[in-house]
Amino acid sequence: MTRALKIGCCGFRSARANYFALLPAVEVQHTFYQPPQPATLRQWRAEAPPAFEFTVKAWQLITHQARSPTYKRLKRELTEEERAGAGSFRASEIVREAWAVTRECARALAAKTILFQCPASFRPTESNVENMRRFFAQLKQERAGLNLCWEPRGDWPRELIRALCAELDLWHVVDPFAARTVTPGRCYFRLHGRRGWRYQYEDDELAELLTMLPPAGESYVFFNNVKMIEDAVRFREIAAGEA
């Protein structure tokens, strides 16, 4: 099995046509805040080169409770019942609806990889762990052909992350310069800058990054720093040189 390395940015950060000419993948951010209409996403898919890959960030109604500041970008007015049931993978109608919307977005983009990014307020409590187990267990039929990726934040014990990823068949998402993934054969990296968003990576750091990836199989590397496009393009060149 050869290495299939998907390199891009968290969001386009430039005109789509320019982006498509530079990089082979993108992590779509719109689907987290306020999912676009499927027709819009199908248009993006049609504009992109055939081999270009979209990954989808799951709608925040699945992972983030309604008190999250990210809800300021939500255009939909939630009812009190919906606000109470949103986030934390709860067994609620609004979470089920949010998953259906996320899945439809993935279909429109022909995306096979979905990221579930959790806030630091989603802590490793017994109820949260049980919510995760219930949520992903219900997706057994719908997740066929999909890579489901989980980015926990905050103080989650490494062994608990490892156990949940194994039990629920999840990819562990990390910034590799801040933490090591517990699924090293299935890497999904999000790089936020080693000393904050304004950080630009040096060539030797990008060369080190390449060594953190498995020698075979699919891996995703998305940059989310001020020079994300430049860093992603340089990393792609370094990876091509190594190949």
Our count of domains for the chain comes to: 1
How far apart are alpha carbons 226 and 199 in whole angstroms?
A: 7
Which amino acid, one-letter code, is at 61? L
In sequence order, which residues have a C-beta less than 8 Å from that of residue 163 and are 6 or more positions away? none
pLDDT tens digit sequence for 130-175: 999 999 999 988 888 999 999 999 999 999 999 999 999 999 999 9
pLDDT of the residue at 140: 81
Residue 240: band (very low, low, confident or very high) from pLDDT cuts 50, 70, 90: very high
Range of the domain at 145: 3-242
Q: pTM of the entire structure?
A: 0.96
CATH code where residue 118 lies: 3.20.20.410
Range list of β-strands (E), the chain = 3-10, 25-28, 53-57, 113-117, 147-151, 171-174, 187-191, 217-223
pLDDT tens digit sequence for 43-62: 999 999 999 999 999 999 99
